[in-house]
Amino acid sequence: MNWLTNWVRPKIKALVGEADVPDNLWHKCPSCGQMIFHRDLDAHINVCQHCGHHLRIPLAKRFEHLFDDGVYTKIELPRVKIDPLKFRDKKRYTDRLKEAQAKTDTGDAIVVAHGKIKGKPVVIAAFNFQFMGGSMGMAVGEGMLAASRLAVMQKAPLIAIPSSGGARMQEGILSLMQMPRTTIAVEEVKEAGLPYIVLMTDPTTGGVSASFAMLGDIHIAEPGAQIGFAGRRVIEQTVRETLPEGFQTAEYLLEHGMIDLVVPRSEQRETLANLIGLLMDGVKAIAPPPAQKAKDAAADLDIPTPEKPSTDGDKDAKADTKPAAKSDENSGEKSGAKSGAAPTE
Amino acid sequence: MRNYLDFEQPIAELEGKIEELRHLSDDGEVNIADEVSRLQTKADKLLRQTYTKLSPWQKVQVARHPNRPHFCDYVEALIDDYMPLAGDRAFADDKAIQGGLGRFRGRPVVVMGHEKGADTTSRVKHNFGMARPEGYRKAIRLMELAERFKLPVLTFVDTSGAYPGVGAEERGQAEAIARSIETCLKLNTPIVSTVIGEGGSGGAIAIAAADSVLMLEHAVYSVISPEGCAAILWGTADQASAVAEALKITAQDLTQLGCVDAIIPEPVGGAHRDIDATMKAAGDAIEAALSKLTGLDAAALIKARRAKYVAIGREGLNG
């Protein structure tokens, strides 16, 4: 307006310092509109304590919550060609990438980490929505491939956590090619006899939903997450009518048979651990470890054997002969009981 | 009556003139034959010049040309003993994806593809080639049939995309496409896909994750339509021409990017100007692709198919 506002005010502001009141102490819930204090948000793993709305959660925080004691190892992802099409719209794609990298501190929209959930080793491939809307380009494809290979190598289940608007347009046809590529990735996990679980978070749409995200052995979704193929606007323009209430939400997809479970964030750890146990212990039961085989053979022949030949890290596979309990040898059993999955004796 | 695209107007004028002169010569005028052949040469030259340097946006228009041959034309020209099969055995028969059994140059195959329709009635019937989940589930069903009887699969891609509708979402559009891609990649018999017009995003790749992907010279194949991309990135569809350029959607670009294995030449002026020649070229290319895949055992076939997709985009990275 004049020199007072243009010059003096900024000077004063610079002197006094605006940083006295951080602007992120309070968050407004996008669903109920109530204010949430940042500590509450943190304590509730980014779920609104007023209405239960699941806000987006930074990846680091999600990992901390999911993995035992918040301990996990991120793996380095393969390099990909930067900007293969030399794409530019209003901005250069390379600039958009740099901005996103600076903003999010991740190389691209996917992070792959491994660790344990209630004692069970898992590999997680999770999307970072902050990185260009979690869009899927070459880097994401490589990330999924790396994750699946790691899972196969570790004989661990793969958990994919998409949060993505779909394909990365700036990579053109190469982004479309990530649909078959990620499909191949999860296929490798399934063919290795390992569980592939998808935990869909807001949003899971477009090319991501139409490829690996919908190919899980089990589909879990966060409450309220938007899941679907085409965008709402596109559909509205096509059918020229208002969309049904709750269209494309996790609950809607549950109703229409596309997902198995809607699980709030606070229960996801238990659910995942329980599912993995149920899916993997059966295989273990059919193929007993070599030690057990030796014992069985010995029993048949009535020959005494050394009590405990070393197995691959089964610390407490001792003389515990209860076959049902054997699978739950880790801490998961105790807390599993807490969540209502009480073992029937 | 021939349909001319906007950029073909100069050619349209010339050919219009030729047509007029021909009528005159019917009336018994003399020395018109010379003029006609002069104009014809000029028109041919102009057509050739225009079509050798079509811009990506012009190719989009050629790929969507109302007279462009569609799936049914390919079936009629290339497939004998065609038995159309219908339905996904769960909900409905989606007419946007047609398919069935038939013989391609003597060899029994499963054939399928998007059908856009040729006039208003048939376009509505085929939903403009935009499939719903039932279409992809029919494709899956047909591929499974091919597996059982060791038949190669030929697919023809021509869709602006999967149908964005409430019912389609309700019945799992995303899952149907994902499953269809998965089925292509697991198929234990050869699969050859030909992009004959528009290869529109997920709706296209659903039946095009193939051992060999062929593409007509002026067809386009893209993750998103140029208009859609422009609307998202610029907020207006006006930039479609520039976006078409940037997205690299032509057969020539896609071959360079390793996403398309061979280009099928089109007659001068586009596939619709000489449908017989187009069919012959397509048939020859498909036969060549198929013969390379014949004799491979199922495991080798699947392994090579997957390796091909895994390798896309990696070229030049590992030394």
Q: Based on the domain organization, do B93 and B138 belong to the same domain?
A: yes
Using left for φ > 0, alpha for ψ between -120 and 50, and beta otherwise, residue A11 falls in alpha
Shortest CA gap B80–chain A (Å): 31
B240 has a chain A CB within 8 A of its CB = no
- CATH number of the domain encompassing residue B68: 3.90.226.10
Average pLDDT on A286-306 reads 59
Say whether pLDDT at B24 is over 80: no
Residue-level pLDDT at A333:
39
Domains of chain A, each with CATH number or no CATH: 25-55 (no CATH), 58-286 (3.90.226.10), 301-338 (no CATH)
pLDDT band at A181 (very low <50, low <70, confident <90, very high): very high
- Whether residue A177 and residue B248 make contact (CB cut-off 8 A), yes or no, is no
- Whether residue A177 and residue B259 make contact (CB cut-off 8 A), yes or no, is yes
Q: Based on the domain organization, do B43 and B109 belong to the same domain?
A: no
Residue-level pLDDT at A1:
56
Q: Based on the domain organization, do B129 and B33 belong to the same domain?
A: no
Upper half-sphere CA count for residue A148 (Cβ side, 13 Å): 24
Residue-level pLDDT at A232:
86
Measured in degrees and rounded to the nearest 5, phi and psi for residue B118 equal -115, -20
A35 is in an annotated binding site: no
Residue B226 lies in a domain: yes
- Token digits of residue A225: 């997450």
Residue B206 lies in a domain: yes
- Token digits of residue A132: 């260009």
Residue-level pLDDT at A286:
74
pLDDT band at A5 (very low <50, low <70, confident <90, very high): confident
CA distances from B259 to A31, A144, B57, B186, B307 (A): 43, 19, 20, 19, 13
A48 is in an annotated binding site: yes
Q: Based on the domain organization, do B203 and B72 belong to the same domain?
A: yes
A58 has a chain B CB within 8 A of its CB = no
Residue B264 lies in a domain: yes
Average pLDDT on A34-47 reads 92
Average pLDDT on B39-61 reads 93
- Whether residue B259 and residue A211 make contact (CB cut-off 8 A), yes or no, is no
Average pLDDT on B282-290 reads 97
A117 has a chain B CB within 8 A of its CB = no
Q: Based on the domain organization, do B180 and B266 belong to the same domain?
A: yes
Q: Based on the domain organization, do B49 and B90 belong to the same domain?
A: no
Residue B82 lies in a domain: yes
B299 has a chain A CB within 8 A of its CB = no
Say whether pLDDT at A329 is over 80: no
Q: Based on the domain organization, do B177 and B42 belong to the same domain?
A: no
pLDDT band at A342 (very low <50, low <70, confident <90, very high): very low
Q: Per mean pLDDT, which range of A3-12, A42-51, A121-130, B182-191 is the poorest?
A: A3-12
| B173, B178, B232 member nearest A169 (Cβ) | B232
Residue B135 lies in a domain: yes
| B168, B202, B246 member nearest A179 (Cβ) | B202
Q: Per mean pLDDT, which range of A11-20, B41-50, B81-90 is the poorest?
A: A11-20
- Whether residue A230 and residue B234 make contact (CB cut-off 8 A), yes or no, is no
Other C-beta atoms closer than 10 Å to the C-beta of A105 total: 13
Residues B279-294 as b/e (b if ≥16 CB within 10 A, e otherwise) read bebbbebbeebbeebe
pLDDT band at A288 (very low <50, low <70, confident <90, very high): low
Residue-level pLDDT at A320:
42
Shortest CA gap A80–chain B (Å): 7
Residue B165 lies in a domain: yes
Q: Based on the domain organization, do B126 and B13 belong to the same domain?
A: no
ipTM of the prediction: 0.94
Average pLDDT on A288-310 reads 55
* Tens of pLDDT, residues A251-260: 999 999 999 9
* Tens of pLDDT, residues A16-26: 665 555 567 89
The helix/strand/coil state of A214 is helix
Residue-level pLDDT at B101:
98
Shortest CA gap A194–chain B (Å): 17
Cβ-Cβ contacts under 8 Å for A280 (sequence gap 6 or more) = A120, A157, A194, A195
A-chain CB neighbours of B174 within 8 Å are: 205, 209-210, 213-214, 227-229, 258
pLDDT band at B80 (very low <50, low <70, confident <90, very high): very high
B173 has a chain A CB within 8 A of its CB = yes
Rounded-to-integer distance, Cα A129 and Cα A203, Å: 8
Q: Based on the domain organization, do B112 and B75 belong to the same domain?
A: yes
- Whether residue B317 and residue A79 make contact (CB cut-off 8 A), yes or no, is yes
Residue-level pLDDT at A341:
40
Residue-level pLDDT at B238:
80
* Tens of pLDDT, residues A114-165: 999 999 999 999 999 999 999 999 999 999 999 999 999 999 999 999 999 9
Write down the mean pLDDT value for chain A.
84
Residue-level pLDDT at B316:
66
Residue-level pLDDT at B304:
96
Say whether pLDDT at A197 is over 50: yes
Q: Based on the domain organization, do B104 and B47 belong to the same domain?
A: no
Q: Based on the domain organization, do B80 and B180 belong to the same domain?
A: yes
Rounded-to-integer distance, Cα B247 and Cα B245, Å: 6
* Helix, strand, coil % in chain B, rounded to nearest 5: 55, 15, 30
Q: Which residue on chain A is closest to B204 by alpha carbon?
A: A176
Say whether pLDDT at B224 is over 70: yes
A-chain CB neighbours of B221 within 8 Å are: 173
B319 has a chain A CB within 8 A of its CB = no
Residue-level pLDDT at A124:
98
Task: Provide the residue range defining the domain that includes B169.
Answer: 60-318
B-chain CB neighbours of A177 within 8 Å are: 205, 259, 309, 312-313
- Whether residue B248 and residue A172 make contact (CB cut-off 8 A), yes or no, is yes
Say whether pLDDT at A337 is over 80: no
- Token digits of residue A103: 């903003």
Nearest to B101 by CA among B153, B179, B140: B153
A233 is in an annotated binding site: no
**DSSP-assigned letter for residue A8:** I
A209 has a chain B CB within 8 A of its CB = yes
Query: Which residues, numbered 253 to 292 in chain B, qualify as contacts with chain A under a Cβ-Cβ cut-off of 8 Å?
Result: 253-254, 257, 259
Say whether pLDDT at B319 is over 60: no
Q: Per mean pLDDT, which range of A216-230, B8-22, B104-118, B193-207 is the poorest?
A: B8-22
- Whether residue A207 and residue B317 make contact (CB cut-off 8 A), yes or no, is no
A41 vs B2, higher pLDDT: A41
pLDDT band at A233 (very low <50, low <70, confident <90, very high): confident
Q: Per mean pLDDT, which range of A89-93, A186-190, B178-182, B289-293 is the poorest?
A: A89-93
Q: How many domains does chain B have?
A: 2
pLDDT band at B266 (very low <50, low <70, confident <90, very high): very high
Residue-level pLDDT at A19:
54
Say whether pLDDT at B25 is over 70: no
E-only strand ranges, B235-316: 262-264
Residue-level pLDDT at A330:
44
Q: Based on the domain organization, do B183 and B204 belong to the same domain?
A: yes
Residue B1 lies in a domain: no
B312 has a chain A CB within 8 A of its CB = yes
A86 vs A4, higher pLDDT: A86
B-chain CB neighbours of A213 within 8 Å are: 174, 178
CA angle, A209 then A213 then A218, to 5°: 135
pLDDT band at A234 (very low <50, low <70, confident <90, very high): confident
